[in-house]
Amino acid sequence: MKEKQDAALVFDLDGTLIDSVYQHVMAWDEAIRKAGMELSIWRIHRRIGMSGGLFVRALGRELGRELDASVVAQLQRDHEEAYLRTVDGVVPLPGARELLATLTSAGVPWAIATSGAHYPAQRSMRALNVPESVPLITRDEVTRAKPNPDLFLAAISALGVSARETFVVGDSLWDMLGARRAGALGVGVLSGGYGRTELVEGGGAYRVYDDPLDLLRHLDELGVRIATW
Amino acid sequence: MKEKQDAALVFDLDGTLIDSVYQHVMAWDEAIRKAGMELSIWRIHRRIGMSGGLFVRALGRELGRELDASVVAQLQRDHEEAYLRTVDGVVPLPGARELLATLTSAGVPWAIATSGAHYPAQRSMRALNVPESVPLITRDEVTRAKPNPDLFLAAISALGVSARETFVVGDSLWDMLGARRAGALGVGVLSGGYGRTELVEGGGAYRVYDDPLDLLRHLDELGVRIATW
């Protein structure tokens, strides 16, 4: 029996539901080297999940010069090409499918909001068995990706809920920052490689879990009522 | 002119002087998948830098079963093979060469202590222009690698200094833990992908710098006197 729910969840995709952050990191590393530039890999990791535009702007700052539009476009193409070469090995994180199925059957509204492009996101949606009816908001749908709140606000609007009752679940500081700017509570997961205290102290995460499986086991801490527990 | 120095430094290698942590992570991921096992990539990342034996024991725990010796040996061979395929792209971290050269010319004793094997470590020593006279302690030289203090104690002994005047510089919790067990002060760098607060609160790091370049600019904070500054 479904209870009346007063909570909604908006999920980031890469590093939150899908184990793809490190492949994205190495794909950016490859693209940056190919362009004859050098950036330490940990600095790439810390930028994953933010909008591509902000990413290359930050890259320019680290390199000490502004990158012109054609260089930026080439970097983005090379990153995408390098990532797609590894994408067959990318799998859902532990508990991701079960978590989403549990929310669906309990009648908890949920959506996905990613700074990534539409095509690889759709591939992930299939791997996660996401029903057609679930809103998917990608960078193609909004003007500004994370840490701007646009993606999360669009997801909240598509669900017809209020930001105040919404938890944004993500693995990066950009998710936590975007959540706060959207007026929602941020819930962190460690599965993208950030540390717990970084997400809490740097991002203001309300709670932090290891991964989707750990979140599934603690849904009650968010006030989500699962009748069939 | 060289001043009398009363500080010594012992450096970890991967993630501290060499930008190789993410390649090691992906090499372990490949080896683990090849063995038909599954482990989230962030969990691999958090284990990098500890002894190979502890790594596979922790892996067994995450997988819920003990791994027998032949499986462990195969995993280690597959990891090494996968890593060596990417090693040509592995470069020193920003400021690493300059930092080491500065210490050498200032007469500050320093050594390298790594949980890795001797052969890839020697390759890194050449990339870093490390003089022959600098002690290199690898897992082949001691019974127990990090976070046991053996590697650091052997390095401290090779330098003929005391632990009390030694800073251990590393990127992982295992370095910080090993430093404390050796009676030395731990200094963290972010270039292995750990967060600042993780190293300070989880590892008891005395100071944390971005990377070798940032440490070089702040050597005075460790009481290291560089006369030619």
- Rounded to an integer, the average pLDDT of B87-106 is 95
- A99 shares its domain with A52: no
What's the pTM value of the predicted model, to 2 decimals?
0.93
Nearest to B122 by CA among B133, B111, B104, B136: B136
Picking from B16, B22, B32, B34 by the largest number of A CB atoms within 10 A of its own CB, the best residue to mutate is B22
- C-beta atoms of B33 and A89 within 8 A: yes
CA-based nearest residue in chain A for residue B30: A89
Rounded CA Rg of chain A: 17
* A19 contacts chain B (CB < 8 A): yes
Residue A39 sits in a domain whose CATH number is 1.10.150.240
ipTM passes above 0.90: yes
Q: Is residue B13 domain-resident? A: yes
**Which of B33, B45, B191 lies at the smallest CB-CB distance from A193?**
B45
Min Cα separation A110/chain B (Å): 24
Residue A165 sits in a domain whose CATH number is 3.40.50.1000
Question: Per-residue DSSP letters for chain B?
Answer: -PPPP--EEEE--BTTTBS-HHHHHHHHHHHHHHTT----HHHHHTTTTS-HHHHHHHHHHHHTSPPPHHHHHHHHHHHHHHHHHHGGG--BPTTHHHHHHHHHHHT--EEEE-SS-HHHHHHHHHHTT--TTS-EE-TTTSSS-TTSSHHHHHHHHHHT--GGGEEEEESSHHHHHHHHHHT-EEEEEGGGS--HHIIIIIT--SEEESSHHHHHHTGGGGT---TT-
Alpha-carbon distance of A101 to A17, in angstroms, equals: 13
- C-beta atoms of B22 and A33 within 8 A: no
Which of A:141-200 have CB within 8 Å of B? 190-198
Q: Give strand pairing partners of A168.
A: A10, A186
B177-227 residue pLDDT tens: 999 999 999 999 999 999 999 999 989 999 999 999 999 999 999 988 876
- B195 shares its domain with B115: yes
**Which of A38, A45, A89 lies at the smallest CB-CB distance from B193?**
A45
Domain tally, chain A = 2
Q: CA distances (Å), A28 to each of A24, A58, B59, B153, in order?
A: 6, 13, 28, 38
**Position A2 pLDDT exceeds 60:** no
A155-208 residue pLDDT tens: 999 999 999 999 999 999 999 999 999 999 999 999 999 999 999 998 999 999
- B84 shares its domain with B128: no
Min Cα separation B27/chain A (Å): 12
- Rounded to an integer, the average pLDDT of B10-15 is 97
- C-beta atoms of A40 and B19 within 8 A: yes
- B161 shares its domain with B73: no
CA-based nearest residue in chain A for residue B34: A89
- C-beta atoms of A42 and B25 within 8 A: no
Q: Is residue B228 domain-resident? A: no
Of A88, A117, A141, which residue constitutes the final position of a domain? A88
CA-based nearest residue in chain A for residue B93: A40
Query: What residue numbers bound the domain in which B62 lies?
Result: 21-88
Give the DSSP H/E element, type plus range, for residue A113.
strand A110-113
Q: Is residue A228 domain-resident? A: no
- A123 shares its domain with A212: yes
Q: CA distances (Å), B187 to each of A6, A101, B210, B212, in order?
A: 47, 45, 11, 11
Residue A229: the pLDDT is 45
Show residues of chain B in contact with A97, CB under 8 Å.
none
Q: Is residue B121 domain-resident? A: yes
- B27 shares its domain with B116: no
